Amino acid sequence: MIKEYTMPCIHMNGSGEASLRRQYNELFEAVSEAQIKLLFDTDFHGRDYYPLGDEVWNKAYQEREEVKKAMDTVYQYAKQHMHFLEYGKEPLPDEE
């Protein structure tokens, strides 16, 4: 996983700072909501898989873990960009 992402350079010929802030905030909110829906609003239980065989539940569980990791990657990406656009190169509070 990438620990530090490449940040944009705000300049006259590039995207506006306010626009970038809004877009990354919206991305952060969307992925945060998706994570909540996956973890709390989507039923995921072995009882829904056992008729398909013993290995199916393990496979489904591993697939879900991969999806959670992918969502966390997008979450971290948006979080780092939001923080950079707000505070510049100052480290995130959980990285000090």
Q: What is the mean pLDDT of residues 57-68?
A: 96
The answer on pLDDT for 66 being more than 80 is: yes
Q: Is residue 57 included in any domain, yes or no?
A: yes
30 falls within a domain: yes
Domain that holds residue 74: 17-95
* Predicted confidence (pLDDT) per residue in 25-37, tens digit: 999 999 999 999 9
10 located within any domain: no
List alpha helices for the chain, DSSP H. 17-40, 54-87
Assigned domain for 7 exists: no
| C-alpha to C-alpha distance for 11 and 15, rounded to whole angstroms | 8
> Does residue 4 fall inside a structural domain?
no
| 80 is a domain residue | yes
* 8 lies in some domain: no
User: For the stretch 57-83, what's the b/e string if a residue is b when 16 or more beta carbons lie within 10 angstroms of its beta carbon?
Assistant: beeeeeeeeeeeeebeebbbbbbbbbb
Give the mean pLDDT of 10-17: 90
> How many structural domains comprise the chain?
1
Across the range 49-58, mean pLDDT stands at: 94
